[in-house]
Structure 1
């Protein structure tokens, strides 16, 4: 919601409040801001001028020479604009003026003719192209009204202004209006609220002579009011009205449309104007659409409707989609003489469903779908009629047709002062609470041990006692409520699973990996990117009933696509190295179609790339993590069948009889799918198994009393034998005195036959109860060599 501060001042006296304090206090009271922008930032020395003459340029067909009166002098200005006329008031940038973007206006010559300044467009006054009126879109901003020549344009056009953009939550549709934000300001600063005074002076005739209205579905249309205005004069709105709309992000169209938009912004109540002469039999019927009924809306699109969509119809056909958009045939045009003004209250769920079904969302539907107070309908339509009368845009017909079968009345909520103080940690008296709530226009009656709070219908978000507690807190001031410790008879604590998760994350952070969190909703194409076969169980996705789009239409069955997306995004932004992990859930259905809740499995996925990163970088991180989790006796076995990994650089992580994960280099085809031109390494681990085998308890042993004996050996074996096989033989035959076995060299060269390799190990021997003799060590050492020769045909080098 864009709120021009100058417009806000119509309702609350905030002249003595600085912009910084206004924004800060409103944020503290719950009205979060997105941005604060200066309307005419960078604009200096721009004044109001009047075009006195327009003459052809002697040396250029597309240029004209104007004489512009700026109060104390008449300037000659050359321009290429073709939308100006003699007598027009326009903004003039004098010589020495500054415009947005650092543009300075200098005296110059255009095709031999002197130009002493520049006529300004709306864009050159810092307005976005999307809000500039069509009449001024490709030309000079023409000012409608009377102005003092030479007056500072920023003051004359209320451009010395700032616009605050507020983030309005869905539960506060009342704040999607200037009146709503003024109420918040009034309550926050405890200053009076000034509502517009609505008084129609020259009503004529009787509305019932012009139109009849029937509501056939009161469940979908709670209230409908129609008023008629005749002798309509369609023209541009006065500049003050256009400026307010533009600052609020709305493009001016013409006086009638601008008035309906102005009232929508002011009160939050959408209105619509129909050309009454185009309404068959002068009859309006609010009904459900007929199956396959079609309507061509104001945007020129023909839309097919069904019986769930509410329409506004005449005696023959629909003339508008209720709460969303009118039809092209009943549009107000320059030839319109009589209009029917519509203000209504529609069912928010129906509007939300219809808007989504039709794929069309408007400023009106975005308000209706959140819920609007039906009691502001009458005020809003009368306000629109008042503005039409004041601007001389038409003559208002007396009376209104108001169909409102079940009037919404104020409701009451009982609140307990003790409960408020208990929840907030405050010591507010009932009188202080009453004063705070009164600032919000809530009526309060004090009972014995409670307060009866009457809720006005514009605050539809207040339905429970806890809602009132929140209102007291935010208006009293979150920032002045003292911090207190929570009170309770029990203490909470984390489960062992949560502790393991926290320890895993902190360990990986310490090892240099960054945690990421990605969406559980993914694209069905994501599994194709990592080469998952069509018959894989991972393809049994759970489809969402109401997805945000195809990219988020199924529940994920693997974390790998998400992690690769993140790594690829970093790579494409020239990040030289990235190390990341995600601990999250995947969703595996029991049956397709879904008949029960899916199996939610936790997975831990790690990924990395960079110049100094290889397979062993990733393996080292995994081993270090599992070691710190107390998981011992790990082994790694080659995995050549996983479709996402390089067949020669991938291994399964084995613990006992369980495969707890897979790690390796990503397959080149997958890398190409994600746009990598370097190697990427991923580990995908079943965290549910980790939770079962983790041992966070620690036991300590005293340092050994007796010295160790170290022996090195290098054996020549065939290339097909892995280190793991050699290590297992060494450990099996080392007996109780072999303390450790470490591979420290692998050699292939001239002294080694082709197809063979040399594996060098350092063996450490130690006994717990004595100093070992050379004979004891030699015996075990020889046994190890003998077994290596028998099982692997190894030779001592």
Structure 2
């Protein structure tokens, strides 16, 4: 929710408080302010100019030579390339010395031989996003209304001297998705009153019921529908003050009627829709469920196929809008519209969400219906919009409102015990202080039987039980005023469980290896939920997700972890190494609850070693990632029985992927991302791993046994073996270890060769073997005996021969 500071001042006296201080107070009371944006920050020297003359540039077909009054002693000449600039217009002029977004400074210049003393600006050049600019000014300069005063500050007239607070609202705080809701919140924080907009208009002599009737067929999906009729409207631009409020809230202006419905949506939180009455097609509104495969062309000019789950507004036969989501193109308000059918209704959030999801349409209207609107404001919002239409579109509002109302939502009455508040919060707050907090919030309070009886207005649908009231007391009393205390316990010394100790070891090792911890959502979308899954599982789908991107519980940590890697690389970070320890959610049978298992996953890309002055750069490869995993397993004491077996996984490179087995059981995998996945995520070569910590931590690990440092020297022998290409080095290593017995202490691969001097279908694998007897110095005969045994075992098992 974007909240204009200057607009908020119209409802609550902020007493000159800075936007930053206000943001801090709102955040400390429980609603996070994610940022404060100063709309015209860095811009200066932009004034309103009056174009006195315009003529074609003598040396350029697409340039205009304009004489502009900027409120100075003499008019100035400005060369302008905008196609819509003309004599008599009031325009935004960046004068010589002005600064525009991006620290772009305006200087005197000559364009094709003609002097230019400034710049006539479009809204985009003043920092307004193109998608928010009214369509008539999308390709040229902006033109002010004729009453704009020449030479005055253009930024002020465009509300670019405003600050916008971005509220990060949780799903339960739908009441703050409108300006009045935020005003109630701020008024409670500051102890001020809320100024409600006044509505007054003179209704016409005709009655609305003579023009329209309302019939609801599905009362559960639509318990209330109200319609008003406004005649003799003149469609045109809305007032500039209204347009700028919409733009600062992230909504593009269209025309006076549509802008008024959007303005009231932002002000009251009540979605409205204006139909062209003459194009509506009948004198009755029938709200019903759509017929299977019925179609409608929505305002975005897309044909939508409906199902029987979708609620539609019809003229008795043909759908004219998808209820709560979007109107139809057939009855939209156009330039020649003269009579308005104004809709104000209460639609079920579940019904609206179903249609929004199925049709792929998410609008400002649907968002508010999904989260819940205030039933008490349905009529109020309709009256407010009718009043504004009569003022700014010249319409005559017909007498009365035609409605069908089966809505039965009453204010909640909750009793609250002061003792319980003290017990829950750990601080003593008097009944008088509590009552004052509730009154500041706009709740009515009485005392009976030693308890506070609180009546909660319908706008606060999130408050239903005693604990909700306690939370309101806590946040308005001030979390900072509640002392921090430790629980009183006896006979408990504390400490980590074995599982927690192992988890801490994992975290410390990976961070010591150079990986940074990431924490991502447990929820993801339908496509990503099963990607990289270590084991097969049915999906766990939320019944009421916040969004489609957060609707399914994950089976793997990697999809969201890779999103974090991609996010960082997109911001000029050339290398990234992340890990995450978190839960995945798996279920063997579809109708059961998921089992929560803890995994660890890592993703690395870019350079592992940078080319410092004395070294060389080393990019990440498979063996870097494998080394991290092997080091982690060694740290956990899980070394015996571990195998890395080449395998194939859908999302990973077919030649650089391995399953990680412990005594034959799958505990994880490692590999390079498949090139198609790298391309999709816009990543360079990246390597990933994921391990089942739940299984790893459950393994019996022998206690650490320390050994004395050997007093006797070791003997190293290197061998290069020629074997078939399909034999993995790990298989050869297993044979070497078994044959080498107690004297063989270390074995590792140091070279693989498949060059032109090698026989077809063969490769050379070189191993370094270290022999050691901790009790005495090894003789040449002892080493040769064991070494020959190793070579014989290799020859018998894999027909391996020494390379000549």
What is the CA distance between 1:260 and its match in structure 2? 1.3
Counterpart for residue 502 of structure 2? 500
Contact 2:322 2:328 in 1 (8 A): yes
Distance 1:409 1:67 in 2: 63
Counterpart for residue 313 of structure 1? 314
> Quick one: structure 1 residues 24 and 317, their matched pair in 2 at CA, closer, same or farther if it must change by over 3 Å?
same
Counterpart for residue 44 of structure 2? 44
Contact 1:67 1:74 in 2 (8 A): no
Counterpart for residue 121 of structure 2? 120
Look up the SS of the partner of 2:193 in the other structure.
Answer: coil
Distance 1:341 1:187 in 2: 33
> Quick one: structure 1 residues 278 and 785, their matched pair in 2 at CA, closer, same or farther if it must change by over 3 Å?
closer
Q: Which stretch shifts more, 754-763 or 226-235?
A: 754-763
What is the CA distance between 1:382 and its match in structure 2? 1.1
Q: Structure 2 length normalisation: TM-score?
A: 0.81
Distance 2:297 2:386 in 1: 28
Counterpart for residue 391 of structure 2? 390
Counterpart for residue 433 of structure 1? 434
Contact 1:4 1:163 in 2 (8 A): yes
Mapped pair 1:405 → 2:406: yes
Q: Structure 1 length normalisation: TM-score?
A: 0.81
What is the CA distance between 1:463 and its match in structure 2? 0.7
Q: Which stretch shifts more, 483-492 or 232-241?
A: 483-492
Distance 2:217 2:24 in 1: 48
Distance 1:26 1:437 in 2: 17
Contact 1:542 1:554 in 2 (8 A): no
Counterpart of 1:542 (choices 520, 538, 544) is 538
> Quick one: structure 1 residues 97 and 415, their matched pair in 2 at CA, closer, same or farther if it must change by over 3 Å?
same
> Quick one: structure 1 residues 70 and 543, their matched pair in 2 at CA, closer, same or farther if it must change by over 3 Å?
same
Counterpart for residue 331 of structure 1? 332
What is the CA distance between 1:458 and its match in structure 2? 0.5
Contact 1:54 1:65 in 2 (8 A): yes
Look up the SS of the partner of 1:159 in the other structure.
Answer: coil
Mapped pair 1:629 → 2:636: yes
Look up the SS of the partner of 2:273 in the other structure.
Answer: strand
> Quick one: structure 1 residues 122 and 578, their matched pair in 2 at CA, closer, same or farther if it must change by over 3 Å?
closer
> Quick one: structure 1 residues 344 and 466, their matched pair in 2 at CA, closer, same or farther if it must change by over 3 Å?
same
What is the CA distance between 1:273 and its match in structure 2? 1.4
Distance 1:372 1:59 in 2: 60
Distance 1:713 1:5 in 2: 76
Distance 1:309 1:279 in 2: 20
Gaps of 5+ in 2: 609-617, 724-730, 753-762, 794-804
Distance 1:146 1:678 in 2: 57
Look up the SS of the partner of 1:374 in the other structure.
Answer: coil
> Quick one: structure 1 residues 111 and 459, their matched pair in 2 at CA, closer, same or farther if it must change by over 3 Å?
same
Distance 1:422 1:554 in 2: 37
Mapped pair 1:764 → 2:780: no
Q: Which stretch shifts more, 470-479 or 616-625?
A: 616-625
What is the CA distance between 1:256 and its match in structure 2? 1.4
Counterpart for residue 690 of structure 1? 696
Look up the SS of the partner of 1:382 in the other structure.
Answer: helix
Gaps of 5+ in 1: 531-536, 735-739, 749-753, 767-771
Q: Which stretch shifts more, 285-294 or 510-519?
A: 510-519
CA RMSD between the two structures? 4.6
TM-superposition CA deviations, 1:123-142 (whole Å, max 9, x none): 23332212222222223322
Look up the SS of the partner of 2:772 in the other structure.
Answer: strand
Contact 2:661 2:668 in 1 (8 A): no
Counterpart for residue 425 of structure 2? 424
What is the CA distance between 1:376 and its match in structure 2? 0.3
Contact 2:434 2:473 in 1 (8 A): yes
Would you say how many aligned residue pairs link Structure 1 and Structure 2? 760
Look up the SS of the partner of 1:91 in the other structure.
Answer: strand
Counterpart for residue 737 of structure 1? none
Distance 2:655 2:208 in 1: 85
Counterpart for residue 79 of structure 1? 80
What is the CA distance between 1:440 and its match in structure 2? 0.7
What is the CA distance between 1:342 and its match in structure 2? 1.3
TM-superposition CA deviations, 1:722-743 (whole Å, max 9, x none): 56555555545x7xxxxx8456
Distance 1:2 1:651 in 2: 49
Q: Which stretch shifts more, 66-75 or 606-615?
A: 606-615
Distance 2:267 2:172 in 1: 19
TM-superposition CA deviations, 1:575-632 (whole Å, max 9, x none): 78766555566677646xx355577666556676743878876666555544443446
Contact 2:653 2:674 in 1 (8 A): no
Q: Which stretch shifts more, 715-724 or 419-428?
A: 715-724
> Quick one: structure 1 residues 43 and 672, their matched pair in 2 at CA, closer, same or farther if it must change by over 3 Å?
closer
Distance 1:761 1:485 in 2: 56
Contact 1:542 1:555 in 2 (8 A): no
Look up the SS of the partner of 2:376 in the other structure.
Answer: helix
Counterpart for residue 286 of structure 2? 285
Q: Which stretch shifts more, 158-167 or 561-570?
A: 561-570
